[in-house]
């Protein structure tokens, strides 16, 4: 409330013109730097990290290093992309890790089945791609309907599946580790068309597609309008509930895909581990990337960069023999610094 | 005239925010036991001045003397302890907490370190009794109406043994009866020797209760006079920085007198019912006319507009558009039928702050602007530029964030949001509220022009001037009923007021004012 | 003179009735949790032979004391409109510190671990209040940092606590050797009693609720909002550390990997207890009931399996908990909506 008022007071000169011209001066310069950091801080940090590594980390500039990093970051980016949309509407999705576990638990059950329609190898693999992702999407729909129809706060609504979802995955598999070798299914995690890991291509396609959707489509505008001012959006005829349902479904679907990638890489599915702490990584990537958690603004490429930063920090520390545990501490510091720099101007 | 030693003297105050010089040597002088009005357009520097006084902002230069001593408050708390208390426009209390807690928060009476609830409640009761307010002080504040909440805020201020009480647009959410109660309280404060700074957009009120007036413009103080020595028109001229002649030539609003050519029936609403707030409302709007919707706060004005627009679900009654019964399940349905709705609270229900002027303006139009879900940017750009020009919206460009615009220009963008849809019926809820005088008359003139072009307008307004000068007919609501329809010949401030209050009228007290 | 018209001040009859109804509903809402707990206990005591045995009761209390303590601190944080995701990690870190210091005796171990918790809590509060970073993000970062520190300190493995000193008595022993007074449960109950008094009878407690109800107003009323926020996170850090100490003492080891998801269990307890996640309204005591309720579900599942008719794997536990949370939230939601109209 007071924010807008003081903006009115400070920015609206009596003629209503935005403050431009000579009155600015020094303030402008300082603000300019702040704005620059807000807009490009994450990219700058990524560049600095890359430069540091080129100088200090041995064998950094190799395709192998690139592939290792991209492969590891792909699932985070895919999930974080969905999370970005949810956050843009002012929501949050804590259930992503559990949904990954569910989809990761279902896929082997399908393509390993000895009887029924899915015992056919081709059909089995196709179904193992489609059904788990659809199921994850359906759980996303469940999240979305709790948020829209029952007006439950997103953090609580998705907490339900965060708790129950992994349990469902464990119950389905009886908590057993499922191991498998199925090259056609595992292509999603191990395939290398043009010598590029398949999941990296998938990741880039998803990011580019989402960024494009957010930029040019009416859906993208609606997502931002809902996050920016839900009441106003509703009164302007925006189908608020459908938009919200959609973002949770998308988040669910992308989590489902990420779950498949993880088990394909591991050649095994452990419902206890797949996607664990993924919600934290995804939210961190979104926040570091510069999408405010309050909704209404969004940067998909920022999220990609945010995830890359987090990944690269971990890699840098490991490559320089800093233990994984210490990397957690550094990651924490990076998140805070990034969010602090990119926080909206105080009025 | 020799003045007594002033209670408050602020001189040569300057304050610069990044990019804006909010105050340029402004001054303010308030005598003891004086009710002092501070007026000015939005952006004139009133709020900044007050925030500097109360310690919310630091001044860049200038001096403040309070009670004869130079002072510098570093926080609102320091100001409170020194006897300067502020009652803010949007009542700043804690809704979930009880009335007595809200009065004593931060200074709860204690016994052995623990809160002494019985003493606290007793003292709160006693304080409110001074204003003849007898309520259960243990209930959460949110169970009371706005007027009571305001009294609680004042009681809190008094309990600090204030020497100076600042009221920042205290009447903006009160109905007439409540305003007169508030004025009574102000007079009592004055009688106790307490000074009051009274900030308001409503000039009539100043004459009713204030002793002196300070007019601010462009961050400077342009006048400090006894209110008796200055006319309303002179005040407006000073605020606008115009010669007196320019102002007197037209009426006080941007509407031109005279009826519009009313054409075919557009909207016909019968026996509308929503919850217990709306009961039995009848209403007609024809193409090309402006129908005013008047009533006290809580009489159901906003609810009527929301119900017609499909924002709230009707529980009874019938809405016809073009003589065909319609049933809107959401605003989207109403928009498809050619209806637009400018809500009362721009910030809460209007603007999307971080989106650009372009995106805000075309939000409702998007379905028409897109093909296969993709927004056609060139078409969008064209429309936005057309409306920026047509409504004379002062903006750095279509890409400027709407939150950076002044209130009047934001309102123009929101009007354009509907106008670009080429609607046939526009529902306007307090279209000029909280907007500075210049933009206000521009918007009024625009509404007038639109009606001339054949648009049907339903205009909710608390300003009688707006209703009498602007409307072809006025429908008056009371307690959720439509109680009168005043034809153009009969419209006068007296007629409207009489219908709003009527002899048997019960103020909407007790109930929560839903359209605050 | 114009007094406040009677009808503006007095409550019209219709309204007062609906208020009584609203009050009744709110009582039901608050006591609803208690009723659910009582029903669950009744169900258990009728169905299972040893359900009400001293052993079962005291072990339920002993094992749930940790989540309950965290839920207590979380209640304060949530009342200010904040959230603290770092508590599970802080508990793990504190358990490691306590175990490492435990050869020096119970008091030094407790003091050291508490200090760590207080420090991290203070840091959370400071960053949130002074640097204006959202609680969710701040404590998410601290979740990672505290976990990292716990792993570094413990060298990635659990740290045995000393059995030479009194340290393990804290988690495993009973007060005065009375077997229905397990020390962790006593600590838990004492902490909640203090919490209830603080929230209802001290200025600080009321100010916590005021901050969550309307932060801007509270600031303008001159209350030290920043200090209040820092205080609740500090308290929460201390209580999380206390939970960690009990953890180390109960299992005889500092557990750097334990406490995963505790923050969400604690939040669930608070929500089940009826405290508004948006802040400003809630009940400390109900959080305890919420925590016990969620804990009891696991206990009953164990008994059910023990009867041998069905065999529900432990994995059902989280499914049932999640379902239970859903039911409670939906019920509260319906009540809240009915209140409005």
Q: What is the number of other CB atoms lying within 10 angstroms of the CB of residue B340?
A: 28
Residues B325 and B353 in one domain: no
The residues in B 301-330 lying below 8 A from A, measured between CB atoms, are 309, 311, 330
The residues in B 257-286 lying below 8 A from A, measured between CB atoms, are none
What is the pLDDT at residue B262?
60
CA distance C170 to C251: 11
- Whether B263 shows a pLDDT value over 80: the answer reads no
**Cα dihedral angle (A182, A187, A192, A197), rounded to 10 degrees?**
-120
Domain containing B398 equals 349-422
Residue B2 inside a domain? The answer is no
Residues B382 and B476 in one domain: no
- DSSP string for residues in B205-229: HHHHH-SEEEEEETTEEEEEEEGGG
Do residue A24 and residue B377 have CB atoms under 8 angstroms apart? Answer: no
C161/B363: higher pLDDT: B363
Residue B440 inside a domain? The answer is yes
Confidence category of residue C176, pLDDT binned at 50, 70, 90: confident
- Whether C124 shows a pLDDT value over 90: the answer reads yes
Domain containing A97 equals 41-342
Residues B416 and B430 in one domain: no
Q: What is the number of other CB atoms lying within 10 angstroms of the CB of residue A326?
A: 15
Residues B75 and B174 in one domain: yes
Q: How many CB pairs under 8 A join A and B?
A: 157
Tell me the shortest Cα–Cα distance from C216 to chain B, in angstroms.
Answer: 7
Residues B134 and B275 in one domain: no
CA distance B452 to B464: 21
What is the pLDDT at residue C286?
86
Q: Which residues in chain C touch residue B56, judged by CB atoms under 8 angstroms apart? A: 220
Answer for the pair B127, B158: CB distance below 8 angstroms, yes or no. yes
Q: Select from A247, A271, A281 the least CA-distant residue to A101.
A: A271
For residue C210, what is the nearest residue in chain B, using CA coordinates? B94
Answer for the pair B65, B55: CB distance below 8 angstroms, yes or no. no
Tell me the shortest Cα–Cα distance from B479 to chain C, in angstroms.
Answer: 13
What percent helix, strand, coil does chain A show, rounded to 5? 75, 0, 25
Residue A27 inside a domain? The answer is no
Residue B3 inside a domain? The answer is no
Write the CB contacts of B212 (distance below 8 Å, at least 6 apart in sequence).
B30, B31, B34, B35, B36, B37, B224, B225, B226, B227
Q: What is the number of other CB atoms lying within 10 angstroms of the CB of residue C207?
A: 24
What is the pLDDT at residue A37?
66
- Whether B414 shows a pLDDT value over 70: the answer reads yes
Q: Which residues in chain B touch residue C197, judged by CB atoms under 8 angstroms apart? A: 114
Angle, vertex CA B486, rays to CA B484 and CA B490, nearest 5: 140
What is the pLDDT at residue A247?
96
Per-residue pLDDT averaged across C42-60, rounded?
82
Q: Which two tokens stand for residue C311?
A: 């065999």
Terminal Cα-to-Cα distance of chain B (whole angstroms): 42
Answer for the pair C85, C136: CB distance below 8 angstroms, yes or no. yes
Count of domains in chain B?
3
Mean per-residue pLDDT of chain B:
82
Q: Which long-range CB contacts under 8 A does C26-31 form with residues at least 24 apart?
A: C26/C335, C26/C339, C28/C335, C29/C274, C29/C332, C29/C335, C29/C336, C30/C274, C30/C283, C30/C286
- Whether C311 shows a pLDDT value over 70: the answer reads no
Q: Chain C within 8 Å of A99 (Cβ-Cβ)? A: no
Among B422, B446, B472, identify where a domain stops. B422
- Whether B177 shows a pLDDT value over 60: the answer reads yes
Q: Which of B19, B217, B359 to mutate to test the interface with A (most CBs of A within 10 A)?
A: B19
CA distance B398 to B381: 8
- Whether B288 shows a pLDDT value over 70: the answer reads yes
For B60-78, what is each residue's pLDDT tens digit?
889 999 888 888 888 877 8
Of B401-405, C2-6, C32-36, highest mean pLDDT = B401-405
CA distance B342 to B320: 20
Residues B190 and B323 in one domain: no
What is the pLDDT at residue C336?
61
- Whether C236 shows a pLDDT value over 80: the answer reads yes
Strands (E), C120-217: 159-160
What is the pLDDT at residue A166?
87
On the CB side of B380, how many CA atoms lie within 13 Å of its CA? 27
**Cα dihedral angle (A29, A35, A36, A38), rounded to 10 degrees?**
150
Residue B179 inside a domain? The answer is yes
Chain position carrying tokens 């007026």: B39
Residue B257 inside a domain? The answer is no
Residues B313 and B356 in one domain: no
Do residue C313 and residue A150 have CB atoms under 8 angstroms apart? Answer: no
Q: Chain C within 8 Å of A153 (Cβ-Cβ)? A: yes
Q: Which two tokens stand for residue C272?
A: 């089940």
Strands (E), chain A: 178-179, 268-269
Sign of the CA dihedral running B31, B36, B40, B44: positive
CA distance C269 to C281: 15
Residues B411 and B289 in one domain: no
Count of domains in chain A?
1
Terminal Cα-to-Cα distance of chain A (whole angstroms): 11
Residues B385 and B441 in one domain: no
Stated as kind and residue range, the H or E segment containing A245 is helix A240-266
C125/A121: higher pLDDT: C125
List C3's β-bridge partners, or say none.
Answer: none
Do residue C278 and residue A153 have CB atoms under 8 angstroms apart? Answer: yes
Residue extents of the structural domains in chain C: 50-302+311-336
Q: Chain A within 8 Å of C145 (Cβ-Cβ)? A: yes
CA distance C247 to C250: 5
Q: Select from C220, C314, C287, C333 the least CA-distant residue to C79.
A: C287
For residue A2, what is the nearest residue in chain C, using CA coordinates? C216
Q: Which chains have at least 3 CB atom pairs separated by less than 8 Å from chain B? A: A, C
What is the pLDDT at residue C6?
34
CA distance C341 to C333: 13
Question: Looking at residue B499, which CATH number applies to its domain?
Answer: 3.40.50.300
Q: Which residues in chain C touch residue A335, judged by CB atoms under 8 angstroms apart? A: 137, 140-141, 144
Least trusted range by pLDDT, from A10-19, A92-101, B378-387, C297-306: A10-19
Per-residue pLDDT averaged across A20-32, rounded?
44
Residues B221 and B233 in one domain: yes
What is the pLDDT at residue C5?
38
Which percentage of chain B shows pLDDT scores above 90?
Answer: 8
What is the pLDDT at residue B505?
35
- Whether A288 shows a pLDDT value over 70: the answer reads yes
Q: Select from B350, B333, B367 the least CA-distant residue to B416.
A: B350
Q: Which two tokens stand for residue A346?
A: 């105080």
Answer for the pair A97, A166: CB distance below 8 angstroms, yes or no. yes
pTM of the model: 0.77
- Whether C85 shows a pLDDT value over 80: the answer reads yes
Q: Which residues in chain C touch residue A289, judged by CB atoms under 8 angstroms apart? A: none
Residue B301 inside a domain? The answer is yes
Q: Select from B48, B54, B47, B87 the least CA-distant residue to B73.
A: B54
Complex ipTM value:
0.76
For A70-125, what is each residue's pLDDT tens digit?
888 999 999 999 999 999 999 999 899 999 999 999 998 888 877 777 777 778 88
Q: Select from B264, B270, B305 the least CA-distant residue to B288.
A: B264
- DSSP string for residues in C57-104: HHHHHHHHHHHHHHHHHHHHHHHTT-----HHHHHHHHHHHHHHHGGG
Residue B1 inside a domain? The answer is no
Tell me the shortest Cα–Cα distance from C227 to chain B, in angstroms.
Answer: 13
Answer for the pair B14, B25: CB distance below 8 angstroms, yes or no. yes
Q: Which of C89, C133, C144 to mutate to test the interface with A (most CBs of A within 10 A)?
A: C144
- Whether B4 shows a pLDDT value over 70: the answer reads no
Q: Chain C within 8 Å of A337 (Cβ-Cβ)? A: no
Radius of gyration of chain A (CA): 22
Q: Give the distance, in angstroms, between the CA of residue B394 and the centroid of all CA atoms in the same chain.
A: 22
Q: How many CB pairs under 8 A join B and C?
A: 123
List B226's β-bridge partners, or say none.
Answer: B212
CA distance A328 to C148: 5
Confidence category of residue C19, pLDDT binned at 50, 70, 90: low
What is the pLDDT at residue C1?
37
What is the pLDDT at residue B512?
34
Sign of the CA dihedral running C185, C187, C190, C195: negative
Q: Select from C182, C187, C242 the least CA-distant residue to C56.
A: C182
Q: Which residues in chain C touch residue B95, judged by CB atoms under 8 angstroms apart? A: 213-214, 280
For residue B368, what is the nearest residue in chain A, using CA coordinates? A218
CATH of C50-302+311-336, one of 3.30.70, 1.10.10, 1.10.3470, 3.30.1360: 1.10.3470
Question: Looking at residue A173, which CATH number applies to its domain?
Answer: 1.10.3470
Confidence category of residue C7, pLDDT binned at 50, 70, 90: very low
For B348-382, what is each residue's pLDDT tens digit?
888 888 888 998 998 888 888 888 888 888 888 99
Among B392, B422, B452, identify where a domain stops. B422
- Whether B247 shows a pLDDT value over 70: the answer reads no
Bridging pattern class, strands B20-30 and B425-429: unpaired
Q: Give C269: exposed, middle or buried? Use CB within 10 Å, 0-12, 13-18, 19+.
A: buried
What is the pLDDT at residue B372?
83
Which of C7, C14, C201 is closest, CB to CB, to B114? C201
Among B422, B457, B486, identify where a domain stops. B422
Write the CB contacts of A153 (distance below 8 Å, at least 6 apart in sequence).
A147, C277, C278
Which of B370, B373, B417 is closest, CB to CB, to A236? B417
Do residue C19 and residue B143 have CB atoms under 8 angstroms apart? Answer: yes
């Amino acid at each position: 409330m007071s924010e807008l008022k003081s903006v009115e007071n400070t920015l609206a000169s009596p003629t209503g013109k935005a403050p431009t011209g000579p009155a600015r001066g020094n303030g402008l310069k300082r603000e300019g730097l702040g704005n620059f950091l807000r807009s490009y801080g994450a990219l700058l940090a990524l560049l600095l990290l890359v430069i540091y590594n080129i100088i200090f980390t041995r064998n950094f500039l190799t395709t192998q290093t690139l592939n290792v990093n991209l492969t590891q970051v792909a699932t985070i980016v895919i999930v974080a992309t969905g999370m970005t949309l949810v956050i843009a509407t002012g929501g949050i999705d804590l259930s992503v890790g559990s949904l990954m576990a569910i989809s990761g638990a279902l896929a082997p059950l399908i393509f390993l089945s000895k009887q029924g329609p899915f015992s056919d190898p081709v059909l089995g693999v196709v179904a193992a791609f489609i059904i788990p992702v659809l199921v994850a999407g359906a759980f996303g729909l469940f999240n979305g309907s709790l948020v829209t129809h029952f007006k439950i706060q997103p953090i609580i609504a998705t907490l339900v599946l965060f708790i129950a979802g992994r349990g469902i995955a464990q119950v389905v598999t009886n908590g057993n580790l499922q191991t498998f070798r199925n090259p056609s299914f595992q292509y999603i995690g191990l395939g290398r068309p043009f010598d590029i890991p398949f999941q990296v291509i998938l990741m880039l396609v998803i990011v580019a597609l989402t960024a494009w959707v957010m930029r040019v489509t009416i859906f993208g505008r609606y997502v931002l309008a809902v996050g920016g001012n839900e009441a106003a959006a509703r009164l302007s005829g925006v189908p608020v509930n459908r938009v919200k349902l959609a973002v949770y479904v998308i988040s669910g679907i992308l989590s489902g895909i990420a779950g498949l990638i993880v088990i394909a890489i591991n050649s095994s599915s452990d419902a206890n581990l797949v996607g664990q702490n993924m919600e934290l990584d995804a939210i961190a990537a979104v926040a570091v990337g510069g999408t405010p958690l309050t909704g209404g603004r969004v940067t998909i490429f920022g999220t990609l960069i945010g995830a890359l930063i987090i990944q690269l920090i971990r890699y840098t520390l490991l490559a320089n023999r800093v233990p994984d545990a210490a990397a957690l501490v550094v990651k924490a510091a990076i998140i805070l610094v990034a969010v602090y720099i990119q926080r909206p101007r105080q009025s | 005239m020799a003045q007594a030693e002033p209670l408050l003297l602020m001189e040569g105050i300057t304050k610069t925010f990044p990019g804006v010089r909010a105050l340029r040597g402004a001054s303010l002088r308030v005598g003891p036991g004086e009710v002092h009005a501070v007026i000015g357009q939005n952006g004139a520097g009133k709020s900044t001045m007050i925030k500097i006084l109360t310690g919310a902002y630091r001044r860049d230069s200038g001096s403040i003397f309070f009670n004869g001593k130079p002072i510098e408050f570093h926080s609102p708390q320091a100001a409170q302890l020194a006897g300067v208390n502020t009652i803010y426009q949007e009542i700043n209390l804690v809704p979930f907490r009880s009335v007595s807690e809200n009065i004593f928060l931060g200074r709860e009476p204690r016994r052995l370190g623990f809160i002494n609830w019985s003493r606290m409640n007793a003292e709160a009761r006693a304080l409110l009794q001074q204003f003849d307010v007898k309520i259960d002080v243990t209930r959460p504040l949110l169970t009371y109406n706005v007027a009571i909440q305001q009294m609680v805020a004042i009681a809190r201020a008094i309990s600090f043994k204030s020497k100076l009480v600042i009221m920042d647009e205290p009447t903006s959410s009160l109905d007439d009866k409540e305003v007169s109660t508030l004025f009574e309280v102000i007079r009592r404060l004055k009688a106790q020797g307490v000074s009051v700074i009274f900030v308001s957009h409503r000039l009539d009120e100043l004459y009713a209760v204030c002793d002196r007036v300070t007019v601010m413009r462009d961050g400077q103080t342009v006048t400090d006079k006894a209110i008796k020595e200055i006319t309303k028109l002179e005040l407006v001229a000073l605020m606008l920085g115009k010669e007196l002649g320019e102002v007197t030539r037209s009426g006080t609003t941007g509407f031109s007198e005279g009826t519009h050519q009313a054409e075919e029936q557009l909207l016909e609403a019968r026996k509308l019912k929503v919850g217990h707030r709306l009961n039995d409302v009848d209403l007609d709007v024809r193409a090309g006319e402006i129908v005013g919707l008047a009533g006290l706060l809580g009489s159901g004005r906003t609810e009527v507009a929301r119900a017609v627009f499909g924002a709230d679900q009707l529980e009874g009654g019938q809405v016809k558009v073009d003589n065909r019964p319609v049933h809107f399940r959401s605003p989207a349905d109403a928009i498809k039928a050619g209806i637009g709705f400018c809500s009362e609270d721009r910030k809460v229900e209007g603007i999307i702050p971080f989106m650009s002027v372009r995106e805000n303006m075309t939000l409702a139009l998007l379905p028409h602007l897109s093909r296969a879900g993709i927004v056609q940017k060139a078409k969008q750009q064209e429309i936005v530029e057309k409306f920026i020009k047509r409504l004379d919206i002062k903006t750095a460009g279509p890409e400027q964030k709407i939150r950076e615009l002044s209130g009047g220009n934001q309102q123009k963008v929101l009007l354009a949001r509907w106008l670009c849809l080429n609607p046939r019926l526009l529902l306007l809820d307090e279209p000029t509220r909280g907007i500075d005088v210049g933009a206000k008359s521009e918007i009024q003139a625009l509404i007038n022009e639109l009606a001339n072009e054949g648009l049907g307008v339903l205009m909710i307004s608390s300003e009688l001037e707006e209703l009498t000068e602007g409307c072809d007919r006025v429908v008056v609501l009371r307690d959720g009923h439509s109680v009168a329809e005043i034809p153009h010949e009969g419209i006068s401030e007296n007629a409207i007021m009489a219908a709003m209050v009527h002899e048997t009228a019960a103020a909407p007290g007790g109930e929560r004012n839903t359209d605050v | 003179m114009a007094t406040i018209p009677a009808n503006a001040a007095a409550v019209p009859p219709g309204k007062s009735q609906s208020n009584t109804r609203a009050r009744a509903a709110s009582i039901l809402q608050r006591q609803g949790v208690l009723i659910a707990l009582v029903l669950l206990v009744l169900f258990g005591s009728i169905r299972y032979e040893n359900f009400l045995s001293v052993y079962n009761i005291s072990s339920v209390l002993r094992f749930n004391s940790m989540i309950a303590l965290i839920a207590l601190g979380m209640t304060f944080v949530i009342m200010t409109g904040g959230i603290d995701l770092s508590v599970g990690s802080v508990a793990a870190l504190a358990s490691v510190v306590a175990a490492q210091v435990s050869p020096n005796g119970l008091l030094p171990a407790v003091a050291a671990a508490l200090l760590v918790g207080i420090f991290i809590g203070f840091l959370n509060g400071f960053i949130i209040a002074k640097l204006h970073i959202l609680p969710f993000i701040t404590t998410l970062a601290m979740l990672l940092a505290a976990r990292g520190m716990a792993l570094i300190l413990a060298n990635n493995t659990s740290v045995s606590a000393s059995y030479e000193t009194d340290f393990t008595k804290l988690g495993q022993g009973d007060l005065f050797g009375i077997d229905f007074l397990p020390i962790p449960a006593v600590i838990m109950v004492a902490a909640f009693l203090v919490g209830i008094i603080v929230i209802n009878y001290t200025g600080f407690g009321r100010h916590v609720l005021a901050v969550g109800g309307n932060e801007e107003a509270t600031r303008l009323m001159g209350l030290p909002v920043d200090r209040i926020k820092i205080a609740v996170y500090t308290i929460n850090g201390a209580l999380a550390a206390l939970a960690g100490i009990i953890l180390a003492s109960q299992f005889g080891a500092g557990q750097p990997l334990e406490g995963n998801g505790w923050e969400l269990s604690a939040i669930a307890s608070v929500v089940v207890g009826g405290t508004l996640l948006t802040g400003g309204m809630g009940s400390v005591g109900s959080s305890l009931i919420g925590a016990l309720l969620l804990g009891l579900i696991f206990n009953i599942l164990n008994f059910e399996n023990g009867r041998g008719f069905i065999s529900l794997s432990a994995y059902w536990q989280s499914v049932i908990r999640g379902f239970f949370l859903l039911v409670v939230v939906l019920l509260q939601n319906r009540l809240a909506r009915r209140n409005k109209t």
